[in-house]
Amino acid sequence: MFKHCVIGLAGTSLTAQESIWLKEKTPQGVILFARNVASAEQVQALLAEVRHIAGQHIWAAIDEEGGRVHRMPWSPFHQRMQADDFGMLYNKTPEKALKMVFEDALRAGNALKALGFTHNCAPVLDIFYPQAHPIIGNRAYASDTASIAALGKACMLGLQQAGIEAIGKHFPGHGRADADSHVAMPVVDADLATILDEAASFAELFQAGLKHVMTAHVRYPKADAEVATFSPFWLQDILKDKLGFQGQVWSDDLCMKGCGMDVPTAALAAKDAGCDVLLVCEPEGVAALMAGGT
């Protein structure tokens, strides 16, 4: 189980316990948040320490979408445009918008690579839906899948050119959700045909070379009873069989309340449903998973 996990760390340097886990129960990777960040030199040192213990192969991920979701308060991360600003520009001058998104992602990707990162949890491929909970909101490029796919592809290609793997999120779509899955279990009250139509941007990026996709901790009761992260219907029948995705499926953070279960149970359920990478971001959740011994 541990080899499938990408785990959060407690602070700006490794604890003694984290060092033991990295050596004895080596995970797939680590993910950093603002609590892990003090300076560029410190981030480089932290990731170097992780690799010294766990091996050079270990992944290092972060959420650097740009706009309101960023973890490092220095250039080029803290002053990047919000996704919906790119979307509005795309409506007026699409070629300029695509060039700007690509160059923005390339700059961020080069900076991430220099710090020691391998993966970025972007682009957001959810639709903007004004009646929904604002947790996605202006993190979405647009309210139509053609614009989202074009801009998302530009972001993906910029990151990839820098040597950073993009992780598209949140499949099959968080834009219509009625709650923030960090604190509650959201529901999307739309039928299967609507959900699939609005997931078209994911399918287009798969064709363009997206290798990583993150699930949504969202229920779509008109299509399936399970939260998507724990749903063989969504992850096997739709994502892999219907849409032909052959890359790595990441769970969203299994510490989030939208899971509706404890972390060790959620990890087993997500893996059984079809998740290849199990994201466990909070130190308490990591400790619970490690204590489980599976």
The domain ranges of the chain are 2-292
Per-residue burial over 127-140, b if 16 or more Cβ lie within 10 Å, else e, is bbbeebbebbbebb
Crossing angle of helices 145-161 and 83-92, in 10° steps, is: 110
CB of 78 closer than 8 Å to CB of 104: no
For residue 260, the model assigns a pLDDT of: 87
Which segments in the chain show pLDDT lower than 70?
293-294
What's the half-sphere exposure (Cβ side, CA atoms, 13 Å) at 277?
26
For residue 294, the model assigns a pLDDT of: 53
Q: CB-based contacts of 75: which residues, under 8 Å, 6+ apart?
A: none
CB of 218 closer than 8 Å to CB of 175: no
Per-residue burial over 176-201, b if 16 or more Cβ lie within 10 Å, else e, is bbebbbeebbbbbebeeebbbebbbb
What's the half-sphere exposure (Cβ side, CA atoms, 13 Å) at 289?
30
CATH number for the region 2-292 comes to 3.20.20.300
For residue 199, the model assigns a pLDDT of: 97
CB of 174 closer than 8 Å to CB of 186: yes
Six token digits for residue 75? 């250039």
Tell me how far apart the alpha carbons of residues 77 and 72 are, in angstroms, rounded to a whole number: 6
For residue 258, the model assigns a pLDDT of: 82
For residue 262, the model assigns a pLDDT of: 94
Pairing of strands 119-120, 219-220: unpaired
DSSP secondary structure code for residue 34 in this structure = G
For residue 2, the model assigns a pLDDT of: 87
> CA 134 → CA 38, 138, 171, 199, distances in Å?
29, 8, 17, 19
For residue 181, the model assigns a pLDDT of: 84
Tell me how far apart the alpha carbons of residues 98 and 284 are, in angstroms, rounded to a whole number: 40
In this structure, which long-range contacts are made by residues 69-74, counting pairs with CB atoms below 8 Å and at least 24 apart in sequence? Answer: 69/139, 71/32, 71/33, 71/34, 71/36, 71/37, 72/34, 72/37, 72/40, 72/43, 73/37, 74/40
- Angle formed at CA 160 by CA 271 and CA 44, multiple of 5 degrees: 80
pTM assigned to the model? 0.97
Instruction: For the sheet with 5-8, list strands across it.
Output: 248-250, 212-215, 165-171, 119-120, 59-62, 29-32, 5-8, 278-280
Tell me how far apart the alpha carbons of residues 208 and 152 are, in angstroms, rounded to a whole number: 10
Catalytic residues: 182, 252
Give the gyration radius of the chain's Cα atoms: 18
CA 169 to chain centre: 5
